[in-house]
Amino acid sequence: MSHLDDLPSTPGKYKTDKVLPYGILHHHRYLRLSKLTLWASLFLALFLFYLVLSPPPSPSRRNLNDSSSISAAKYGGSHWEKQVRKSARPRSRGGLTVLVTGASGFVGTHVSIALRRRGDGVLGLDNFNRYYDPKLKRARQGLLERSGVFVVEGDINDAVLLRKLFDVVLFTHVMHLAAQAGVRYAMQNPGSYVNSNIAGFVNLLEVSKSANPQPAIVWASSSSVYGLNSKVPFSEKDRTDQPASLYAATKKAGEGIAHTYNHIYGLSLTGLRFFTVYGPWGRPDMAYFFFTKDILKGKTITVFESPDKGSVARDFTYIDDIVKGCLGALDTAEKSTGSGGKKKGPAMFRIYNLGNTSPVPVTKLVTILEKLLKMKAKKKIMPLPRNGDVEFTHANITLAQAELGYKPAVDLETGLKKFVKWYMGFYTGSKKKSSW
């Protein structure tokens, strides 16, 4: 269970740029223009790829990626509006009113419950797609309902629904966590990434910039934006123009799009680059999750190694630490400066790494799971395939520590112990299930 008593609530400081000589300023503007042109071209290419190469959605694909076709039946009416208002109403004086997209997802569930427990108003939005077992998402929804969080079933691409929500509730903040996740799945269904991570994000920004008042927005980017970067640890100042996967490219495009809406419309925007989040109620497509499942079933697990025969490593970050970072970003976010789609002054724009700063080889992850499960894993060592995965991730969190009060506290073995306890209770029934 998350401990939220030590969360920061001190507003962050907006720092203006130093004045530079004309020659240097001209050079910097040229570099900015070049980068803007590069990312604008990337976004256009991704959008055209989606429109031209993606076939018309079949019923099964439509169910996976978009619920807008059925959302009209899921919302509206006085009873629905009463549920929405009740969920979004803060229980503490000065509490936030937050729309959480992807609320029934892994991070979304934990963040929503943490916000509600400290007295904030929270309204969830989720399309319950079938990227992984919807039963797990429905179980998370049950947790949210017991915590007083109502989840609207709908899609971020449904502009009518979003405008309705903003009409019913004056949101102070949006925690945008809805996205098409997963690096490898992008090779099977690339259109879903453009649809969710780019088109859906733009749709949310469009509705938000026209709201009065505009909300401050915190959204999930990803450590994958560092791509083929070989400098470690990864810093927010490092280059992010070499994505290794389509997922990474859409997340990087999202950062560029966010900056555009901040610059033109005065939206306050904070991007969080998550590093390999794990823990109870996690995603079944993550290695720690399906390794646990396969080890218990006696199946062989595939462990990848780098071209030099070294171990692939990840900066595994426990969910409670990520939640604290998310709440810290919400608490320090300054208000948007626009109104009704018109900018009235400079607005806050920030990007932070949220990681653990202690990369762990995947081989050690397996060793810890063997210890916790009391079973020996059947391993097959394979070269890291060219499917978008990178050899290592390592977060520099200096900026998040200084400005968000972010301090990761859970090591991998402690976090995996909590995950295994939850997994055994949820899937095997070997221990009494808890409500959390």
Positions marked catalytic? 247
DSSP, res 197? I
Q: Which residue intervals of 126-174 are DSSP H helices?
A: 134-146, 159-168
CA distance 203 to 257: 11
Q: Is 32 exposed, middle or buried (0-12, 13-18, 19+ CB in 10 A)?
A: exposed
**Phi, psi (5° rounding) for residue 24?**
-70, -40
CA distance 325 to 95: 18
Structure token pair of residue 311: 């171990």
Q: Is the peptide bond before 233 cis (omega within 30 degrees of 0)?
A: yes
Find the length of the chain.
436
**Which amino acid makes up residue 278?**
Y
CA angle 35, 37, 39 (to 5 degrees): 70
Q: Is 81 exposed, middle or buried (0-12, 13-18, 19+ CB in 10 A)?
A: middle
DSSP, res 314? E
Q: How far apart are the first and last CA of the chain?
A: 7
Contact indicator for 272, 258 with CB cutoff of 8 Å: no
